[in-house]
Amino acid sequence: MAEFDSRGTFQKAANEYAKIQDAFPDVICEPLLADMAVKEGDRILDLPCGTGDSIVKAMQIAGPSGHALAIDISASMIEEAKEKAEAAGVKNVDFVVEDMDKAQFDTAAYDIVVSANGPFFAADLKTFLAKMWDAVKPGGKLVTMTLGRNFLTPISGIFLDRAQIRTEDLRISTPWNITEDIAYFREVLEEVTRGQRINIIHRDAVMDYQTADGGWNLLMGTAFRNYTLAMSPEHQAEIEAEMKEWMQANRQFSATCSFNNITVVKDNV
C-alpha cells in the first residue's frame, strides 16, 4: 500500500469528521480552546484546521479586531469550515486549501499558532514544528494536540485486522505513531524552541457512540478511512457489515482515545 493519502482520505471523510466534532466537543475542541486561551484581537494560525470547529469558536472570542489564517489540504474540509464560519457570523478568517508542508507564513506574526492532531502528517516533524514556532510572536504561544497510544480502542484493532484480510499486501501505516511517543515529541520541541518550558497534559477520552452505525461513522471520520480507499466497493460493504455486527454482538458502543495537549509560550525579547 502507498504512503498515507491525506488529501484523498479527508476529502471523503469530511462529512463524518464534522459530525464527530459536533458530537464530541469535549474531546478536541473544548480542551484545545482552553489551551489557546484566546483574547480579544488575537491573530491565530491554524493548520490543519479540519472542519473549522476550533478556529470559528476562537474567532468568536477574538472578535472583529482579531484575524485568523486557517489551512487544510482537503477542499471538502475547508468548505465545511467556511459554512460553519458563515453560520456563526464569523468573517475574519481566511480559509485556504493548501499542503501545510508547503505553506509559508510571516515570522513572529501570530499570537497563537495551533495544530490539533496535525503534526504527525508533516513530511518532516522537526521542520514543521520549527516553521510553526517561527510564526509565533514573542509572548505568544504554540498549541498542539497529538494522539496518545490509544486511538479508538478497541474498535480500531478489530477494523485493522479485517482490513488486512480483505486487502492484498495492505501495509498498516498509522502516521500518528511518530507523535504518540511523548518523550520523543518533547525532545523535538525542546530543540525547536531552544529549551523553553513545555507544558504537556495527557488525558484519556471515552467516546460513547451509542450505536453500531455511530461506531462505523466514527471510524470513517478519522484517518482509518484511508484503508477503505484501497478496497473494492464489495469489500468495503463487507467490512462495514462485519464491524457493525461485531459492535452489536459485543455491545461495544464506546471507544477510548488518548491525547497529549502541549503548549509552549515564547519568551518576550
- In the predicted model, what is the mean pLDDT of residues 16-40? 86
Q: Is the pLDDT of residue 126 over 50?
A: yes
- pLDDT for residue 179: 83
Q: How far is residue 240 CA from its own chain's centroid?
A: 23
Strand order in the sheet with 136-153: 93-97, 67-72, 43-46, 110-116, 136-153, 254-265, 198-208
- pLDDT for residue 173: 60
- Cis bond leading into 119, ω under 30°? no
User: Considering the entire predicted model, what is its pTM?
Assistant: 0.88
Q: What is the mean pLDDT of the chain?
A: 89
Q: How confident is the model at residue 144 (pLDDT cuts 50, 70, 90)?
A: very high
pLDDT in tens, 50-89: 899 999 999 999 999 999 999 998 898 899 999 999 999 9
254-265 vs 136-153, strand pairing mode: antiparallel
- pLDDT for residue 21: 76
Q: Is the pLDDT of residue 120 over 90?
A: no
Domain layout of the chain by residue ranges? 6-148+173-204+258-265
SS3 content of the chain, % helix, strand, coil (to 5): 45, 25, 30
CA angle, 24 then 28 then 30, to 5° = 85
pLDDT in tens, 100-114: 999 999 999 999 999
Give φ, ψ of 124 to 5 degrees: -140, 110
Which region among 7-11, 232-236, 247-251 has the lowest average model confidence (pLDDT)?
7-11
Which region among 171-185, 203-217, 219-233, 235-249 has the lowest average model confidence (pLDDT)?
171-185
- pLDDT for residue 2: 45
- In the predicted model, what is the mean pLDDT of residues 181-202? 93
Percent of the chain with pLDDT over 90: 65
Rama region for 258: left / alpha / beta (φ>0; ψ in -120 to 50; rest): beta
Instruction: List the grid coordinates of 161.
Output: 485486522
Q: What's the CATH number of domain 6-148+173-204+258-265, 3.40.50.150, 3.40.50.1580, 3.40.228.10, 3.10.20.740?
A: 3.40.50.150
- pLDDT for residue 1: 43
110-116 vs 67-72, strand pairing mode: unpaired
Q: Kindly state the helix (H) or strand (E) to which residue 204 belongs, with its residue range.
A: strand 198-208
- pLDDT for residue 222: 84
110-116 vs 93-97, strand pairing mode: unpaired
**146 neighbors 165 (Cβ within 8 angstroms):** no
Q: Is the pLDDT of residue 19 over 80?
A: no
